Structure 1
Amino acid sequence: MQHPVGLSIVVPVYRGAATVGRLVEALSALQPAGGIEIVLVNDGSPDDSGDVCRALAASASVPLTYLEHARNFGEHNAVMTGLRHARGAYVITMDDDLQNPPEEVLRIYDHARLGGWDVVYTRYAKKEHEGWRNLGSRFANKVADWLLDKPRGLYLSSFRCMSAMVVAEVTKYRGPYPYVDGLIMQVTQRIASIEVAHYPRAEGRSNYTLKRLALLWLNLATNFSVVPLRIAVFAGAAMGVLGLLAALGVTLEAIFWGTPSGWASTLVVYLLLAGVQFMILGVMGEYVGRAFLSANGKPQGVVREMIAARDSERVS
């Protein structure tokens, strides 16, 4: 299949008014094999990112598509919207904060294209995030090792390159809770990794909070794995065994030492069992709730505005 360009760059934009212009300028200077296009997705940003992106769409020297979500849906939802409008033989996703160096784009693209890889992830010798954010990323990757069918130790980065085949399969998912890496792992295992530089944030602070990271982990756990349900089953079985052992202990105490003692121990066991039961109900409720919202058509993303790319060559 012929593609209009060799490489598409998808950039979700949120509070990126101060940096997205510099990013587009740097990307526009690249000359990848087959040409380049840029897709900006404004994910309901509360600053003037929309005005900046519209100006870039009008003046960019390369084809640039601008999409604006009607509200904030989340980074992975914005990436999915961008992927659906990307036309490249390969697509790179990257952040708008200049922590992903634009000069590394060609190296990632060539590594995927010349190596025949479906997906190339980036990894960093040193991450220039805050300490808690680095800890959260490591935790998320450990959880992904456990829950996803992915190569052990592969670092899942938002700075990644995908072939058009992978993009086509990933974007078939229409549910309201996408996790791009989980979708990728369901499509292919022809995955490589390459080390790139990572820069300090050029402006402002990270848009990720502990709440956003927790919701991301929840998407990973409940949308692409049944492991939490299996844990709930094992927890229930373990509590059942513990209950039998406790009953045996009480029976033996009654036989050999008279009246069983221990209101405190009874209360502890009761609270333990109640806690596990509520945990199991919570896990099941999360699955049922997400299935309910998906069945009722909760949108993955709503595009309020689109400015299509001009299909001309570079503007001189």
Structure 2
Amino acid sequence: MEVQNDITYSIIIPAFNSGETITQLCSEIVTTINSIPASFEIIIVNDGGNVATWEKIQKIYTKIDCKISIIRLSRNYGQHNATLCGIKNASGKVIITIDDDLQVNPSEILKLIEEYTTKLPDVVYGIYKNKKHAAYRNMGSSLVKKMAKLFLDSYGKGSSFRLFTASIAEKIVEHSQSFIYIDELLLWYTDNISFVEVEHHQAKKSRYSFFSLMKMTFNISTNYTALPLKLITYLGIFSSFITFLFGIFFLYRKIFKNVPLGYTSVIVAVLFSSSIILFSLGVLGQYIQKLYQIQNKKPTFFIKQKMNK
């Protein structure tokens, strides 16, 4: 990332199968920023997906009247990784990220800019007054944010529609692990964060399914928290306590009532303890896998093609 004095805003769009919306989105961004006016650039990162989307992006590149960079990744790396790619290639003093599906009207960018110029926070989030996602998506998003609030010491609110300074962006791009969660990285470097309400519109098709949101929740918990390890500790303490009570119970029956311990009680005890051990090994295996990926330097993304003007 190399900041240039002649560019104020870098607007980053991670795109995935968005051929129906990307042209309108870019056109409205140009109209919005020109109304201020201010110097800006648009960076579109095509995160895998179909060929039609990349063809639309190339047409935008040839026709649009502003500074623009388009990047094609070799495969689908995920929204946050694609956004990080855009940040690394940005040169503005202020970074703005916006989704490709027109759930947020580009005119709402002015609210982020107004909040930034008025209060000078390091980060400004656009938060939705009324979400118009499907019920499963709202439930999944709510789970991710609640988990972040409880275990990542975050505000528990935010979105992919955000503005942050180049000084924060320069710190974020230093991270190179294979799984990136930008909102957590922002919290590592600042607590000077503002929020503004924006309108939310229904998308034709969500980028995330319920299962992909659950996968993201799991990845966040194993990459940015020690929560699973803590759960193992608590589970071990709890199972030890339960096993101790069972032991006292069967010992009492053996001594005072001369009841044989029996096959069933032994099997139950063995299966219970074995399941705890297997679960614990599974969680530890996930952390070892993350360390293995870091050691092998699994890439955050790989650029297949890049054009800028």
Structure 1 residues 262, 109: CA separation in 2 closer, same or farther (over 3 Å shift)? farther
The offset of 1:224, in angstroms, is 1.0
Q: 1 CA distance for matches of 2:260 and 2:38? A: 80
Q: 2:202 aligns with which of 195, 200, 203?
A: 200
The number of residue pairs the alignment matches comes to 305
| Deviation per residue, 1:195-252 (Å, 9 max, x gap) | 1100111x4x212123321221122111111122111112112212221221111111
Question: Which residue is equivalent to 1:177?
Answer: 179
The equivalent of 2:287 in structure 1 is 287
TM-score (norm 2): 0.94
CA offset digits 1:113-170 (Å, max 9, x no partner): 321111111211211111100000001111111221223xx31311111111111111
CA distance in 2, matches of 1:164, 1:121: 15
Matched residue, 1:254: 254
**1:138 aligned residue (122, 136, 142):** 142
Corresponding residue number in structure 2 for 1:314: none
Residue range with higher mean Cα deviation, 240-249 or 189-198: 240-249
Q: Is the 8 A contact 1:90 1:109 kept in 2?
A: no
The one-letter code of the counterpart of 1:91 is I
CA distance in 2, matches of 1:251, 1:74: 55
| Counterparts in 2 of 1:277 and 1:113: CA distance versus 1, 3 Å | farther
Distance in 2 separating the partners of 1:98 and 1:253: 68
For 1:47 and 1:280, the matched residues in 2 are separated by 43
Of 11-20 and 271-280, the range deviating more from structure 2: 271-280
Q: Is the CA contact (8 Å cut-off) linking 2:74 and 2:304 kept in structure 1?
A: yes
Give distance in 2, aligned partners of 1:246 and 1:112: 61
Alignment of 1:185-224 (within 5 A): 185-201=187-203, 203=204, 205-224=205-224
Residues 168-209 of structure 1 deviation map (CA, whole Å, 9 limit, x = unaligned)? 1111100101111111111111111111100111x4x21212
How far does residue 262 in structure 1 lie from its aligned partner after superposition?
Answer: 5.8
Find the aligned partners of 2:5 and 2:215 in 1 and give their Cα distance: 35
In the aligned structure 1, how far is the partner of 2:245 from the partner of 2:169?
A: 53
CA distance in structure 1 between the partners assigned to 2:133 and 2:267 by the alignment: 45
What is the DSSP-based 3-state SS (H/G/I as helix, E as strand, rest coil) of the residue aligned with 1:8?
Answer: strand
> 1:267 & 1:160 partners in 2: Cα distance?
55
68-77 vs 273-282, greater mean Cα deviation = 273-282
**8 Å Cα contact 2:140-2:214 kept in structure 1:** no
3-state secondary structure, aligned to 1:161: strand
| Alpha-carbon distance between aligned partners in 2 of 1:215 and 1:286, rounded to the nearest angstrom | 13
Deviation at 1:4, TM superposition (A): 2.9
- Cα RMSD (Å) of the superposition? 1.6
Does the 8 Å contact 2:254/2:261 carry over to 1?
no
Q: Secondary structure at the match of 1:107?
A: helix
Letter of the 1:70 partner, please give it: S
Q: CA deviation at 1:264?
A: 4.2
**Is residue 29 of structure 2 the alignment partner of residue 27 of structure 1?**
yes
Unaligned runs of 5+ in 1: 311-316
Amino acid in structure 1 at the alignment position of 2:130 = K
**C-alpha distance in 2, partners of 1:214/1:282?**
17
Alpha-carbon separation, structure 2, partners of 1:195 and 1:74? 26
Q: 142, 166, 169: which is aligned to 2:168?
A: 166
Aligned residues of 1:17 and 1:47 also touching (Cα < 8 A): no
Q: Secondary structure of 2:237's partner? A: helix
Is the contact between residue 4 and residue 87 of structure 1 (CA under 8 Å) also seen in structure 2?
A: no
- Partners of 1:178 and 1:219 within 8 A in 2: no
Structure 2 CA distance for aligned equivalents of residues 263 and 192 of structure 1: 62
In 1, Cα distance between equivalents of 2:95 and 2:56: 23
Inter-partner Cα distance in structure 2 for 1:130 and 1:41:
26
1:78 aligns with 2:85: no
**AA partner of residue 139 (structure 1):** L
TM-score by length of 1: 0.92
1:44 aligns to 2:57 (yes or no): no
Q: What letter is aligned with 2:245?
A: L
Partner of 1:313: none
Q: For 1:217 and 1:96, how far apart are their aligned partners in 2? A: 22
- Name the % identity: 28
Does structure 2 retain, via aligned residues, the 8 Å contact 1:236–1:277? no
Q: How far apart, CA to CA, are the structure 2 residues paired with 1:286 and 1:156?
A: 28
Could you tell me which residue of structure 2 aligns to residue 5 of structure 1? 7
